[in-house]
């Protein structure tokens, strides 16, 4: 049986693979009880995955009614959607894409939908710009309430 000679390139390449594996293993971390794993990521403030706060939402729902504060709202980044409740029982939906330069809005606070990129703010009632460089309102996305859930219309 003929053996293939081991080249320096093969040794270096193999060593790099072992070094990378060792580095990844070291990143895992350990404590007194053994390996430590990172916790699962949670939703950012004012960003819900459809059931923020653990409230069950129905099938097809984007959020639970109870998760949308009166006078405020929530940002659902995965759906490019902001759901607001400007007054009790009235729900509005808007695009989560700022009309200034296309950044994603990231919070609803102080009665406005806020963009972190250049400071644009939009009214929770109609999506109209109230501050910053944006001149156009956020486009509406119609939502309705079905039972205890907010759904896209």
Q: Number of folded domains in the chain?
A: 1
Asked, for residue 131, whether it belongs to a domain, the answer is yes
3-class state of residue 66 by DSSP: helix
Of 147, 140, 82, give the one whose Cα is nearest residue 108. 82
Asked, for residue 139, whether it belongs to a domain, the answer is yes
DSSP at 126: T
Residues in the chain: 153
Q: How high is the pLDDT of residue 10? A: 52
- % residues pLDDT > 70 (the chain): 61
Q: Is the pLDDT reported for residue 12 higher than 70? A: no
Of 111, 144, 139, 136, give the one whose Cα is nearest residue 125. 111
Q: Is the pLDDT reported for residue 152 higher than 70? A: yes
Q: Mean pLDDT across the stretch 98-116?
A: 97
Span 52-71, pLDDT tens digits:
444 445 668 999 999 999 99
Asked, for residue 83, whether it belongs to a domain, the answer is yes
**β-strand partners of 9:** none
Asked, for residue 75, whether it belongs to a domain, the answer is yes
Domain that holds residue 141: 52-152
The pTM of this model reads 0.64
Asked, for residue 136, whether it belongs to a domain, the answer is yes
Residue bearing the bigger pLDDT, 131 or 24: 131
Asked, for residue 99, whether it belongs to a domain, the answer is yes
Asked, for residue 46, whether it belongs to a domain, the answer is no
**β-strand partners of 31:** 34
pLDDT grade for 87, boundaries at 50, 70 and 90: very high
User: Tell me, what CATH number does 125's domain have?
Assistant: 2.102.10.10
Asked, for residue 35, whether it belongs to a domain, the answer is no
3-class state of residue 70 by DSSP: strand
């Amino acid at each position: 049986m003929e053996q293939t000679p081991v080249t320096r390139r093969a040794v270096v390449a193999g060593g790099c693979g072992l070094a990378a594996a060792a580095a990844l293993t070291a990143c895992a971390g350990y404590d007194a009880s053994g390996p430590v794993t990172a916790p699962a990521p949670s939703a950012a403030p004012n960003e819900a995955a459809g059931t923020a706060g653990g409230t069950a939402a129905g099938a097809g729902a984007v959020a639970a009614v109870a998760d949308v504060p009166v006078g405020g709202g929530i940002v659902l980044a995965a759906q490019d959607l902001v759901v607001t409740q400007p007054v009790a029982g009235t729900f509005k939906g808007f695009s989560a894409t700022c009309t200034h330069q296309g950044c994603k809005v990231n919070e609803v606070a102080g009665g406005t939908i806020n963009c972190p990129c250049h400071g644009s703010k939009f009214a929770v009632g109609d999506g109209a710009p109230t501050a910053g460089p944006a001149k156009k309102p956020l486009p509406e996305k119609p939502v309705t309430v079905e039972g205890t859930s907010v759904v896209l219309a």
